[in-house]
Amino acid sequence: MKVVKIVTHHDMPEGAAELWAREDVVAIGWGRVGDLRGKGSEEIKELLGKKYKESEGQAAKSAGTLIRFRDEIEPGDFVIAYKCSNKVALVGQITGEYQYEMGNDVAYVGGETEYCNQRKAQWRDRPRNFHRRFLPDDLPEKVALRGTIAIFECNGKKLEEALRRIPKNAD
């Protein structure tokens, strides 16, 4: 099974996770780049440099993250919303294609996040807000990898069994 880890938000991890759950989306930033559809890596890097004053190296890294979000995630993928600090906020499944959304609360959390790059997701009611150590095998280490997005393979049966065993107050 393909698993996608996405960090909720660097400054507001709790609030972003709540908004994702309410809006049934998963999202990443760099909203001022605009709709990513039809844009290549070089154009995205150039926009990141202009709109966010990112260095060439940082713009290349950010562009890679945006392209992965747009192109490598698919409906049906398992998704983990990671709050960092060893906490998983939400688990669910990607249900939609990439979209540039400006009309929901995730896009403008107090005008700060610009999380307009979104995909629809169906979040499970439980487990929520648990320590990553409850995940099976090497998944706790993979979830904690640096970066906004990490995509990896996982034994789906083991993952489902582990999720069922997580106590209600697992933090």
pLDDT in tens, 82-125: 999 999 999 999 999 999 998 898 987 556 667 999 999 999 99
Q: Residue 138: left if φ>0, alpha if ψ -120 to 50, beta else—which one?
A: alpha
ω into 13 cis (within 30 of 0): no
Q: What percent of the chain has pLDDT above 70?
A: 96
Which residue is it, tokens 């320590």?
131
Q: Label residue 169 by pLDDT band (50, 70, 90).
A: confident
Question: What domains appear along the chain, each with residue ranges and CATH number?
Answer: 2-165 (3.10.590.10)
pTM: 0.94
Vertex 16, ends 10 and 18: CA angle to 5°? Answer: 145
- Residue-wise DSSP of 110-153: TTT----EEEEEEE-SSS-SEEGGGS-TTHHHHHT-SSSEEEEE
- The per-residue pLDDT for 11 is 85
